[in-house]
């Protein structure tokens, strides 16, 4: 079996190597990632509950889709590849912002990622891969904020971080409304 590799980078996004995905997460090595946020015509965000078989953050609610580009693959191409694999639909994606973050996860794993955030619009019915996703839900960002404040343990670390990042203003611009989430989680 071919190992699932991630692209290791420095904080300026210069490639410094490749590593097996699980090892990179065990050792907290900085690597490229992407997070996709898809909204419908009512500006509701499509979120997913990660499948219980996932190697980390299983059963937690998260953004529409996320993952890692393969070595040599652009992050935009990886996001466009993974969205239909994970959620069963495609849509045009636009880069909104990027952030470097580090978060301790379950199973003694660490997310240390240079994460590029992409946004898109979709008004159909998602058909998620059951190996990846247990459930989906469309939710207004204001409602999502309230839910996260009440029960942060039900949501992935990166979702909480990305919703608070200053780069979220680019998502607001994409949607044409102010949806800045400013309360701490």
Encode pLDDT of 4-49 as tens digits: 999 999 999 999 999 999 999 999 999 999 999 999 999 999 999 9
The residues, any chain, with a CB within 8 Å of residue 83's CB and separated by 6 or more, are 36, 38, 64, 65, 89, 90, 91, 93, 120
The pTM is what? 0.92
Q: What percent of the chain has pLDDT over 70?
A: 94
Q: Residue 2: its pLDDT value, please?
A: 64
What mean pLDDT, rounded, does the chain reach?
92
Mean pLDDT in residue range 120-142: 95
Of the residues 86, 111, 113, 132, which is catalytic? 113
Mean pLDDT in residue range 63-86: 97
Q: How many CA atoms lie within 13 A of 12 on its CB side?
A: 1
Query: What are the angstrom distances between the C-alpha of 177 and each of 35, 146, 174?
Result: 20, 18, 8
Whether the CB-CB separation of 40 and 121 falls below 8 Å is answered with yes
Higher confidence at residue 80 or residue 175? Answer: 80
Of the residues 65, 66, 91, 132, which is catalytic? 66
Q: Residue 87: its pLDDT value, please?
A: 98
Nearest to residue 35, comparing CAs of 176, 177, 170, 180?
170
Ramachandran angles phi, psi of 138, nearest 5°:
-90, 130
Is 113 in the active site? yes
Higher confidence at residue 61 or residue 181? Answer: 61
The residues, any chain, with a CB within 8 Å of residue 66's CB and separated by 6 or more, are 33, 34, 35, 36, 82, 158
Provide CATH code, domain 5-175. Answer: 3.90.79.10
Take residue 175 and report the two structure tokens written for it.
């949607």
Q: Residue 19: its pLDDT value, please?
A: 97
Query: What are the angstrom distances between the C-alpha of 17 and each of 5, 30, 84?
Result: 10, 10, 28
- The DSSP bridge partners found for residue 61 are 49, 155
pLDDT of 67 higher than 80: yes
pLDDT of 116 higher than 90: yes
pLDDT of 96 higher than 50: yes
Cα 45 from Cα 13, distance rounded (Å): 28
Is 66 in the active site? yes
Confidence grade of residue 165 (pLDDT, cut at 50, 70, 90): confident
Q: Residue 185: its pLDDT value, please?
A: 39
């Amino acid at each position: 079996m071919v190992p699932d590799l991630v692209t290791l980078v420095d904080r300026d996004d210069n490639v410094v190597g490749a590593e097996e995905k699980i090892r990179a997460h065990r050792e907290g090595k900085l690597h490229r990632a992407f997070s996709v946020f898809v909204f419908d015509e009512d500006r509701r965000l499509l979120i997913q509950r990660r499948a219980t078989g996932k190697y980390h953050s299983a059963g937690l609610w998260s953004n529409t889709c996320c993952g890692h580009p393969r070595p040599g693959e652009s992050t935009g191409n990886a996001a466009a590849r993974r969205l239909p694999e994970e959620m069963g639909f495609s849509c045009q994606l636009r880069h909104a912002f990027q952030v470097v973050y580090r978060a301790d996860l379950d199973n003694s794993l660490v997310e240390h990622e240079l994460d590029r955030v992409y946004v898109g619009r979709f008004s159909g019915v998602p058909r998620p891969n059951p190996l990846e996703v247990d459930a989906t839900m469309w939710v207004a960002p204001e409602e999502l904020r309230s839910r996260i404040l009440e029960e942060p343990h039900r949501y992935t670390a990166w979702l909480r971080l990305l919703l608070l990042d200053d780069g979220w203003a680019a998502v607001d611009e994409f949607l044409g409304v102010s949806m800045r989430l400013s309360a701490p989680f």
